[in-house]
Amino acid sequence: MQDPYPVPVFTVPARATVSVPGSKSITNRALLLAALAKGTSRLENCLFSRDTEIMVAALNELGIASSSDPLSKSIEIHGSGGNLPNRKAAINIGNSGTSARFLTAMLAACPNGDFTLDGDDAMRRRPIQKLADSLASLGCQIDTTDGYFPIRIQPNGLRGGTVKIDATESSQFVSALLMAAPLSNEPLEIQLSNPSIRRGYIDMTLAMMEQFGIASSNLVKQSDRYKISPNAYRAPKGSYSVEGDASAASYFIALPFTVGGSITIEGVSKKSLQGDITFAELAAKSGALLDWNSNALKVSLPESNGPAKFPPLSSDYYAFSDTFMTGAALAPLADDSTRIEGIGHTRHQECDRIAAMVDGLTHTGQDTLTTDATLRVNPKPLQAATIDTYEDHRIAMSFAVLGSHDALNSGKPWMKIKDPLCCRKTFPDFFDTLESARQQSLES
């Protein structure tokens, strides 16, 4: 693929059907739970991407046998019943946040062992100390590098009791503790130092733990704490189907705002476990028409002859922050300033996502104003730009949606995306899917 990649513009309103890959968040949770379960789990509609490949490779390093079939999007995991075969390993976690946090807690629950986890430069800038401190208070020896990776884990089992966690940096800290908790020697109570954290992904984790055999009676949920009793994971009966990725769907929910017309997105459900499906409701408030069926969503804009101005997708994005970049990328075409709040934690993800969006929007001619946790975009005329993605898949995909708009009324690309292959993290064929939507629209 050309780098930087010139984004082809839509010269007619969208008329297309696309499919989104399986959810990364669900795939990586399912892989870990299947590894801990007794029996063989068959996972269907899995995401095959850099992040999930990192998780599979890590589990293989720990002695968990698996077989993958990318064509059928399926993975079979031969579970360990909570008893990992290999107790010494050096694991490469790349820049996979889910792998980093989930594996750290899982390995801390082992009765013994010696493990090191390290990743790429971006991962070495992502904090782990708060999770490490919580696990250390439960009996595990964890040595970090000034609060970051690489880390060394020398476990002694989790003794249970009470642990307090500050998860304001990432709700994955809580999910990691929850998934490891059934392996503890005694019931484990996880207290939240700040109960206002994002709950969507935590609720997803709890639901999936039940799907992998943990009785709901062993999962006590309160406003400021969770109490988990020791229990055994079991492989689901039949196959386990991974939902389509709601975060990935946000780019195609947004596309009619930039090019007009309608898009049908296969693989997403209104009853999704994923909090990011909330972006669809936000789009509806700005004028999109939503038509749901059991496993697809059709998004239409009333203006059928092309894009038109629309109310900004302003919101507190705290609970569904992986989509704030999608909303921000639409800001140049809105009829008023876009105000995005609740996103301070995104400064510590794959990159400083607020700074990356400001950089890209500034290059397109926009006026921006930020605080530690907010972004405001005042729309200005678009200008040709090359976007630095900072190795962040969501920066690339969000700006590609804006780049699909024929900003210069020339029918020619006006935006270039650096490092387009960074999308391999969660949506390996994103640009092919976007181009397919454009071609379908031309042929309709």
Asked if 423 and 47 count as a contact pair (C-beta separation under 8 A), the reply is: no
322 is catalytic: yes
The β-bridge partners of 129 are none
DSSP-H helix ranges across 184-315 = 200-211, 246-259, 278-285
Nearest Cα to 117, choosing from 129, 137, 103? Answer: 103
Closest CA to 64 of 93, 92, 86, 33: 86
Helix (H) / strand (E) element for 68: namely strand 66-69
What is the distance between the alpha carbons of residues 215 and 237, in angstroms, rounded to a whole number? 15
d(CA 142, CA 204): 27
**Residue 128 burial (CB count, 10 A):** 26
The secondary structure element, H or E, covering residue 164 is strand 161-165
Q: Amino acid identity of 420?
A: P
- Token pair belonging to 173: 């800290």
Nearest in space to 170 (alpha carbons), one of 146, 194, 150:
194
Token code pair at residue 120? 């790429």
Q: How far apart are CA 443 and CA 276, in angstroms?
A: 31
d(CA 235, CA 385): 49
Q: What is the strand order of the sheet 338-341 is part of? A: 315-316, 338-341, 375-378, 367-370
Q: Which of 245, 322, 388, 419 is catalytic?
A: 322
CA 212 to chain centre: 21
Rounded CA separation 116/412 (Å):
49
Q: Which two tokens stand for residue 434?
A: 């976007």
Tell which residue, 105, 107, 50, 104, has the closest CA to residue 80: 107
Q: What is the DSSP-derived secondary structure letter of residue 81?
A: T
Residues noted as catalytic: 322
